[in-house]
Chains A and B, each alone.
Chain A
């Protein structure tokens, strides 16, 4: 199992800087997701690993070996395309055999390995079909078999679930994660879907404007986002400007922070707020909008800030939301759960 390391990778198209000093480390056998909105550079980064994009600076290392100078056909990293790019003029078996055929492996070995690979994705009986005769989910499995049959060192997947409908997507995500764990191959996913990133990854790299803003395990990204962009992109977040004085925020419920005195931003997840009636220490406000979602009740509470604060509370059986216009107070469930960041990290 080979580590994948990306070292200060940069790429510019004309005046457009698409990647700036990207660093990433994926330990052997782990799954890292590149997550970000469209245009953040995540696909360009994935394509540079495969060698389809020539970076202006930086290195890509696989298993300690620099592959930056190798042409794409000598890199031993497999790439699964967004629409799979199965060769339409070849059958499923010929598609899977393609990489072995161009390597001139003996015919018997090709047949055996193609059978194994198709068995791995449960498509043994479909070798004679053309890609057009397969459903989207089957095509994706063919693409994965075609990639894995070559026993690559790294598996790269560009939004592999995009073309699938919602139900199938969840099944395939879980199946793929199990398959990757069984084979133990270092894998890099690109996605803009945060739920997908949470399901699939050991580590998530949140990208924004050509830079990796944070690289950490999914729950750490959720609990301890390093910028307000990360906080807002992964889950929902209330972002409030605050002042820090003597190691605490100037909020109704002071939050301790090691930050120096001065302006800062505080990030509170909706589920870390609770709505309490009456006038206690907290943010006084008025219910602006309420939705009951079965397991939770979602409130928008107007607290006199430019944007209403969002609250998500567990719903007790039989209870309903408070009426619109009710005067309430918002309290932090846990002051540790609130995140205080410097103003510099507050770009959204």
Chain B
């Protein structure tokens, strides 16, 4: 069976001047690009640059390019321990958000009218308060003998001794999972709510039950949303320093917390900048890995004809 194909149109040639004017559709993005270049790229480059020079009373010492801060950071076993901790906290928290977010997004896709609107408001409303406030709220809930959780469990007699959750990695994971949940729900919601239900009907018609249909059709087809949410939540979890600091109780340090402390407390900007370079670089590598794995898993969506 042959497909009807159109003969390719002869390529149109434009002068270089015309090409620049047309800009390949880039022109509308220029305001955003300029804004990002001035207010994001320039500060980051400056900050990271501090890791490769010696600073003297807030001034860059002349001709002081050095790799000393970078090698100091990279050869410090403590730094590697903190990097590893940042990594697994972020991976565990991201995985937890995925398992909590998926049922919410799935439920959303099955709701209609006012219920759908109400659920969307519930999903988004935590974003109305800052992460800092929510971190403090978790201190109130988890903290000590008089925290909401322990009070409730003690008064109902479920436990005799107060649980020690605050100032442990458990508290960090709980806080991080809750605070970053919306960033996982929203990309999942986008793919699940817009999905074509005929694929599920086709699966049922071919003899699969509801559960098999969910795992063999709904989940694989939502992989693009899962990958997007995973990359997003991993990035914000890996680089967050407020939650480990507040809920980890000062003695729970991660790479991001170290960057904060070196820069704000110790005032060693060069070491802080070198640590930030490591944080940013390793985060980029992980995002690349996640998207590469994602692209491999969803290669069916981009196959050539």
Chain A interface residues (CB < 8 Å from chain B): 50-52, 71-75, 77-79, 81, 83, 85, 87-90, 98-99, 102-103, 130, 132-133, 135, 137-138, 146, 150, 165, 167-168, 171
Contact = CB atoms under 8 A, between A and B. Distances in A.
Nearest to B201: A52
B208 A135 contact: no
Interface string B79-100: 0000000000000000000000
Nearest to A75: B205
B203 A98 contact: yes
B198 A85 contact: yes
B21 interface: no
B202 A79 contact: yes
A78 B304 contact: no
Given A99-B207, A102-B207, A132 B198 contact: no
Contacts of A146: 206
Contacts of A102: 203, 206-209, 212, 216
B220 interface: yes
7 contacts: A50-B201, A73-B206, A73-B209, A79-B202, A87-B199, A89-B220, A102-B216
A68 to B, nearest CB: 16
Contacts of B199: 85, 87
Contact of A130 (B205, B208, B209, B300): B300
B1 A168 contact: yes
Among A74, A87, A133, chain B packs the most CB atoms within 10 A around the CB of: A87
Contacts of B196: 85
Contacts of A71: 204
Contact of A89 (B198, B202, B204, B221): B221
Interface of B: 1, 3-4, 196, 198-199, 201-209, 212, 216-217, 220-221, 223, 298, 300-301, 303-305
Given A87-B199, A89-B221, A73 B304 contact: no
Contacts of B303: 130, 132-133
Contacts of B209: 73, 102
A258 to B, nearest CB: 47
A150 B206 contact: yes
Contacts of B304: 133
Contacts of B301: 88-89, 132
B201 A85 contact: yes
A74 B204 CA distance: 8
B207 A73 contact: yes
B1 A72 contact: no
B252 to A, nearest CB: 41
A88 B300 contact: yes
Given A85-B199, A130-B300, A133-B303, A78 B205 contact: yes
B1 A138 contact: yes
Nearest to B4: A165
B99 to A, nearest CB: 21
A133 B217 CA distance: 19
Contacts of A98: 203, 206, 208, 216
B297 to A, nearest CB: 9
Given A85-B199, A102-B206, A146-B206, 13 more contacts: A72-B201, A73-B206, A79-B202, A87-B199, A88-B221, A88-B301, A89-B223, A89-B298, A102-B207, A102-B208, A103-B207, A133-B305, A135-B1
